Amino acid sequence: MRVVAAIRRQPVLVLTLLVFATVLGLLWSGEDVIASWVATVYVGLVILHTAVDMVRDILRGHYGLDILAVVAMVSTLAVGEYVASLIIVLMLTGGEALESYAAARARAELTTLLERAPLVAHRIPDLQDADPGEPLVIDVPVDEVEPGDVLLVRPSEVVPVNGVLLDEEAVFDESSLTGESLPAQHVRGEQILSGAVNGTQAVRLRATSRAADSQYQHILRLVEQAEESKARTVRLADRFAVPFTAVSLTIGAVAWWLSGDPVRFAEVMVLATPCPLLIAAPVAFLGGTSRAARVGIIVKGGATLEGLARARSVAFDKTGTLSRGRPEVVRIDAVPGVDENELLRLAASAEQYSSHVLADGVMRAAEERGLELSPGREGEEEATDGVVAEVDGHTVVVGKLGFVRERDPNAYLSRLEPGETSVAVAVDDRFIGNLVLSDPLRDNAADTVRVLRELGIEDIAMLTGDNRITADYLATDAGIETVHAEVLPQDKVALVQAMPNRPVVMVGDGVNDAPVLATADVGIAMGARGSTAASEAADVVITRDDIGKVVQAIDIGRRTYSVALSAIWIGVVLSVGLMVVAAFGHIPAVAGALTQEVVDLTAILYALLALRPGTGHPEVLERATAVRRTVLAG
Whichever domain contains 460, its CATH number is 3.40.50.1000
Pair 11, 69 in one domain = yes
Per the CB < 8 A criterion, the answer to whether 265 and 340 are in contact is no
Question: Is residue 193 domain-resident?
Answer: yes
Per the CB < 8 A criterion, the answer to whether 219 and 195 are in contact is yes
Pair 428, 334 in one domain = yes
- Could you tell me which residues come within 8 angstroms of residue 324 by beta carbon, excluding any fewer than 6 positions away? 439, 440, 441, 442
Q: State how far the Cα of 411 lies from the Cα of 403, in Å rounded to an integer.
A: 10
* pLDDT score for 553: 92
pTM for this entry: 0.64
- Three-state DSSP class for 244? helix
317 catalytic? Reply is: yes
- Could you tell me which residues come within 8 angstroms of residue 535 by beta carbon, excluding any fewer than 6 positions away? 218, 222, 525, 527, 541
Question: Is residue 238 domain-resident?
Answer: yes
Per the CB < 8 A criterion, the answer to whether 524 and 504 are in contact is no
Give the chain's residues under pLDDT 50.
Answer: 1, 102, 106, 127-135, 179, 181, 226-227, 229-234, 619-634
* pLDDT score for 505: 95
Question: What domain range is 428 assigned to?
Answer: 328-438
Pair 314, 458 in one domain = yes
Task: Report which residue type is found at 584.
Answer: F
Pair 339, 419 in one domain = yes
Single out the residue in 418, 438, 458 at which a domain terminates: 438
- Could you tell me which residues come within 8 angstroms of residue 476 by beta carbon, excluding any fewer than 6 positions away? none
Other residues' Cβ atoms within 10 Å of the Cβ of residue 162? 24
- Could you tell me which residues come within 8 angstroms of residue 360 by beta carbon, excluding any fewer than 6 positions away? 326, 327
Helices vs strands, H then E, count in the chain: 25, 22
Single out the residue in 392, 409, 438 at which a domain terminates: 438
Cα separation values, 320 from 37, 81, 326, 467, 529, Å: 70, 66, 7, 15, 8
Half-sphere exposure of 250 (CA within 13 A, CB side): 7
Whichever domain contains 205, its CATH number is 2.70.150.10
Question: Is residue 114 domain-resident?
Answer: no
* pLDDT score for 451: 92
Pair 410, 338 in one domain = yes
- Could you tell me which residues come within 8 angstroms of residue 597 by beta carbon, excluding any fewer than 6 positions away? 87, 91, 94
Catalytic residue among 66, 149, 317, 521: 317
Pair 204, 236 in one domain = no
* pLDDT score for 234: 44
Pair 448, 581 in one domain = no
Question: Is residue 373 domain-resident?
Answer: yes
Pair 104, 245 in one domain = yes
* pLDDT score for 443: 86
* pLDDT score for 630: 30
Pair 131, 197 in one domain = yes
* pLDDT score for 500: 92
Per the CB < 8 A criterion, the answer to whether 306 and 232 are in contact is yes
Pair 603, 531 in one domain = no
- Could you tell me which residues come within 8 angstroms of residue 546 by beta carbon, excluding any fewer than 6 positions away? 296, 444, 528, 621, 624, 625
Whichever domain contains 367, its CATH number is 3.40.1110.10
Question: Is residue 626 domain-resident?
Answer: no
Question: Is residue 88 domain-resident?
Answer: yes
Length of the chain: 634
Pair 420, 460 in one domain = no
Pair 452, 601 in one domain = no
Question: Is residue 631 domain-resident?
Answer: no
Question: Is residue 617 domain-resident?
Answer: no
Question: How many distinct structural domains can be found in the chain?
Answer: 4
Is omega for the bond preceding 500 within 30 degrees of 0, making it cis? no
